[in-house]
Amino acid sequence: MAAFPIESDDSQNTNEALNYLLSGPSGLGQNFQGFSAYAPAYLTGNYRPPFTNPTIVKYCFGEVDTDLIKVYPNATGLVVGMAVTGYGVAPGAVIASIGETVTGITLEKGMYTSYTPVTLDLVNVGEADSQLFFAPLNPAQSYVAPIPLGTSSMLTGNTWKFEFASTQPFPPFSNGQPIVISGVDNDFYDGRYDPIGVVDCTTEYVICKTTKTYDIEPPSSNGTAEFSIAYFSTPYLGGSKSTDCNGKVVVNGATDRVFLSAQLNNLISYEVLGGDPAELQYIVSLNRFVGFPTTDPINPEYRFLPQATVSEQIYTYSGLTGTGTLDSIETIFGTVIDQPLPNYYWYILEVMFYVSSGDLAITSTTFGQRSLSVQVVKQ
């Protein structure tokens, strides 16, 4: 380390100081990223954000034996039909209606000057005076069994529309999901649609996009559309599903080290589809992605490619039959140290559901308490 102050004729200290400055910023906290949440979230299986459908958390107040709650400071993000849980709310309650936001009130609860009245379909069983949880109206499905198709067509060279043979009870696919099409009379339509995937889905059709553009083919009939986060091929880096626990950092010098810690609680439900027992390997990984700038002059951005698994934990469940829910799985990574070359990196806590034998579907995966901390420290 160079001495301070540096004398004008001290070339050794001058060189040491210059090299230290060129190696990048020093100290703790100057290159920190992280994420934490405790409200439930539902894995989408997307290759791009959003990686989860999160629960909305709002501070609320409601009196016992009434069906009205005040949502502070407003009801942004809430829609009729959302399930509501928390202290004082009746089990199974959902939003029945949402009123107009009241503003300009005297400071309430020591924090807010506005609220939105929300009516529930059930009266409160106790006083609600805390944070309440509003579940997504239609959370992403972890498994969608094959849906028969009517007509498949290309709207543009990279936009594909698949009409369901019959109306579905609710939109089965979520935006970004890489669905699989198979059995169409013109097998040109068959395949896995990623990484863009679903861009629109209703009860009558699903529309997907691809990054590559093709010559337009005529419409075709039959086939099925399906989606599953279960993985049946040999696990590999890049095959995992990303969670919302992620952070991007810059490594400036060759001596920089990246310190990581993470936690994930996951509640997994399954259904064995075949007659034989199945074996499931649940894999939780801390993965590193390396960034590179695109050459698109109109929409310049950084893209990321999987580069390495920094740490990993594997849980194996054998002899699974029928349907069931595993005990909540808590995964904790203590201090993990990584030392990649200087570059721009994206660290993501990822999960994989590898079916090593049998036929099994993951019917739901619900995240609870979860977090990721990423810090670059200059040595």
Q: What pLDDT does residue 23 have? A: 57
pLDDT score recorded for residue 31 = 78
* 3-state SS, one letter per residue, for 310-325: EEEEEEEEEEECCEEE
pLDDT at 1 over 60: no
pLDDT in tens, 39-52: 999 999 998 888 99
Note whether 340 and 274 are same-domain residues. yes
Distance CA 330, CA 352 (A): 15
116 lies in some domain: yes
Structure tokens that stand for 76 in this block: 């942004």
Confidence at 21, pLDDT banded by 50, 70, 90: low
pTM for the model? 0.86
Q: CATH number for the domain including 280? A: 2.60.120
Mean predicted confidence (pLDDT) in 231-240: 89
> Which of 176, 195, 228 lies at the terminal end of a domain, its last residue?
228
* 132 alpha carbon, distance to own chain's centre: 21
Identity at 378, one-letter amino acid code: K
Residues 239 and 224 in one domain: no
- 122 within 8 A of 93, measured Cβ to Cβ: yes
- Least confident span in 5-9, 33-37, 313-317: 5-9
Choose among 310, 312, 308, 324: nearest CA to 360: 324
What confidence score (pLDDT) does residue 57 get?
96
What is the residue-averaged pLDDT of the chain?
91
Enclosing H/E stretch for 228: strand 224-228
Residue 19 falls inside a structural domain: no
Confidence band, pLDDT 50/70/90 cuts, at residue 109: confident
Regarding predicted confidence, which is higher, 106 or 245? Answer: 245
- Together in a domain, 130 and 148: no
Nearest 5 degrees, angle CA 49-CA 262-CA 231? 55
**Within-domain flag for 40:** no
235: confidence class by pLDDT, cuts 50, 70, 90: confident
**Whether 113 and 175 share a structural domain:** no
Same domain, yes or no: 82 and 157: no
**pLDDT at 283 > cutoff 60:** yes
In a domain, 318, yes or no: yes
Asked if 258 and 354 sit in the same domain, the reply is yes
**Domain-ending residue, one of 204, 228, 252:** 228
CA atoms of 268 and 368, how far apart (whole Å): 11
At 304 the pLDDT is: 93
- For 192-209, the pLDDT digits (tens) are 998 899 999 999 999 999
In a shared domain, residues 370 and 256? yes
Q: Evaluate if residue 130 carries a pLDDT over 60.
A: yes
Q: Does 69 lie in the same domain as 91? A: yes
Task: Check residue 53 and give its pLDDT.
Answer: 93
Is 90 exceeded by the pLDDT of residue 300? Answer: no
Q: How large is the average pLDDT for residues 339-345?
A: 95
Task: Judge whether 170 lies within some domain.
Answer: yes
In a domain? residue 29: no
Contacts of 8 (CB under 8 A, 6+ apart): none
In a domain, 219, yes or no: yes
pLDDT band of 87, cuts 50, 70, 90:
very high
* Pure H helices in 11-135: 11-22
Structural domains of the chain, count: 3
Is the same domain home to 114 and 219? Answer: no
Full domain range(s) for residue 250: 235-293+301-377
Instruction: Tell whether 222 and 243 lie within a shared domain.
Output: no
The string of pLDDT tens digits covering residues 302-313 is 889 999 999 999
106 & 218 share domain: no
Amino acid at 269: S
39 and 83 Cβ atoms separated by less than 8 Å: no
Does residue 107 or residue 5 have the better pLDDT? Answer: 107
CATH number where 147 lies: 2.40.30
Residue 313 inside a domain? The answer is yes
Q: What is the pLDDT of residue 238?
A: 84
Q: Pick from 87, 104, 134: which residue ends a domain?
A: 134
Q: Tell whether 127 and 156 lie within a shared domain.
A: no
